[in-house]
Amino acid sequence: MAQFVPPDSAKQNAGALLAWANENDVQELDVRFVDVRGIVQHFSMPLATVDEGMFEDGFGFDGSSVRGFQAINESDLILFADLNTARIDPFFTARTLTLTCDVYDPIDRVAYPNDPRGVAKRALEYVRSTGIADTVYFGPEAEFFLLSNVRYTNGPNIAYYEVDSHEGFWNTGSAEPGLSYLNRIKEGYFPLPPLDKTQDVRAEMVRVMMECGIDIEVHHHEVGGAGQGEIDMRFDSMLDMADKLLWYKYIVKNVAQRYGLIATFMPKPIFSDNGSGMHCHQSLWKGGQPLFFDEGGYAQLSEMALHYIGGILRHAPAILAFAAPTTNSYRRLVPGYEAPVNLVYSKRNRSAAVRIPMYSKSPKAKRIEFRAPDPSCNPYLAFSAMVLAGIDGIQNKISPGDPIDVDLYEAGIETPTVPGSLGAALDALAADHEFLLKGGVFTKEYIEGYIDIKRTTEADPVSMRPHPYEFNLYLDI
């Protein structure tokens, strides 16, 4: 198996890393950072032109050209590389060393407040400053669809989309022999080939992830019959996991393209089939010991864990402005369709927004699972919002209420629910964000700017356009 991660000895300083790169036939250096949407930005340079001084000075770029960053009259920003993130890119033709970077202001050399990765670093610093915990672990389960074709267009007089999948049940009438053994809608969970036509694709994704230093626990076909999959990474500390999640999405998309497929992390790309979520397992530790376990507690949860859940549930509508941040997110989060929209908690119950997994009795495995987020999010912002809500719950001893261990849909129990639209989630964030300002993790200006961007570029443009299904309903009125 190829290895794309330099040894620890090469990450001690820039000189050691450059020496290792030259010894290993690296031709290019690629520096990367993330924008407010969670989209990775990058630029490259020949390795022969790079020296240690460039690492000390920082790599400059135009911040006014990045969504949510600088105004044009103060555009200059610089990147400082985190050497611990060094990897060889597994897809570039030229052997390329990549580095994830933090964004800084070039004048006073302080961390740029609008850098999402900087938000996550400040969140961790704040958690440690409280004395509550010194480590935050996350384990996101990011689902995705593998499609064979996607077509769409939008104009003043036209709007349509069409997706196809080599597993899609709508292809039963096809004359192509390869389009046989198709999963019925919502019957894609755990089938063997030939129903699971993506086994080899996922296995290739896993191989590349492991070569890039991402530990994988399991992969499988998901419930969505038309090519839905899931690859589960082993839990890791919050910042490292956010870094890994962006690599995860990058690897999934590029391996899919090798197979002539299109990978999408849209939460709801196909009507009537399951959506793609990103259940976020999380726990707090201190001094190497887990803090969420109590043998005598409900589901073996400590009082701290229950208060953490209380914070998540109380602030969930605001959290989802970051954790379910697209208009498409709310096509998935619809009451009555087994989506995790109910703001309650339970052991094992997947109809609750917060579930406590019961697979293991080990104190180290005790965690909570917030099920409403989806993989369209920026993980640095979403993880930060979740942990700040949980810490607020601990500090203020917020009760999560009584657990609900019955099927909410069968029992007809009414509970508070998540927002029904991106606009409603943004309204919730506007009304409830004091918990995000603690420790200077987020700033009021950043939150206001985020809300404005999401409203003007996503929520409003979608709400103003006629929907194709409206013609079914209203053309003859």
Distance CA 352, CA 350 (A): 5
Quote the DSSP letter at residue 79.
Answer: E
230 a catalytic residue: yes
List, as one string, the DSSP characters of 30-69: EEEEE-TTS-EEEEEEEGGG--HHHHHH-EEEEGGGSTTS
Choosing from 109, 234, 258, 350, the catalytic residue is 350
Name the active-site residue from 62, 125, 434, 470: 62
Q: Catalytic: which of 369, 374, 427, 458? A: 369
User: Distance between CA atoms of 35 and 155, rounded to whole angstroms?
Assistant: 27
The one catalytic residue among 167, 230, 232, 243: 230
Cβ(21)–Cβ(29) below 8 Å = yes
Catalytic residue among 371, 374, 427, 433: 371
Cβ 173 vs Cβ 179: under 8 Å:
no
The CA-CA-CA angle for residues 199, 204, 206, to 5°, reads 95
**Does residue 125 have an active-site annotation?**
no
Q: Does the annotation count 74 as an active-site position?
A: no
Among 28, 89, 143, 427, which one carries the catalytic annotation? Answer: 143
Check 89, 115, 222, 243 and give the catalytic one: 222
Neighbours of 416 (CB within 10 A): 14
Q: Is 62 a catalytic residue?
A: yes
Residue 448 annotated in active site: no
What's the chain's length in residues? Answer: 477
Q: Which two tokens stand for residue 159?
A: 């709007």
Residue 350 catalytic?
yes
User: Does residue 166 carry a catalytic annotation?
Assistant: no
Q: Please, are residues 450 and 377 in contact by the beta-carbon 8 Å criterion?
A: no
* 222 is known as an active-site residue: yes
What are the φ/ψ torsions at residue 57 (nearest 5 degrees)? Answer: -80, -30
Burial 200-224 (b: 16+ CB within 10 A, else e): ebbeebbbbbebbbbebeebbbbbb
Question: Is 369 annotated as catalytic?
Answer: yes
The one catalytic residue among 115, 141, 243, 458: 141
Considering 32, 37, 166, 279, which one is annotated as catalytic? Answer: 279
Task: Enumerate the active-site residues.
Answer: 62, 141, 143, 222, 230, 279, 350, 369, 371
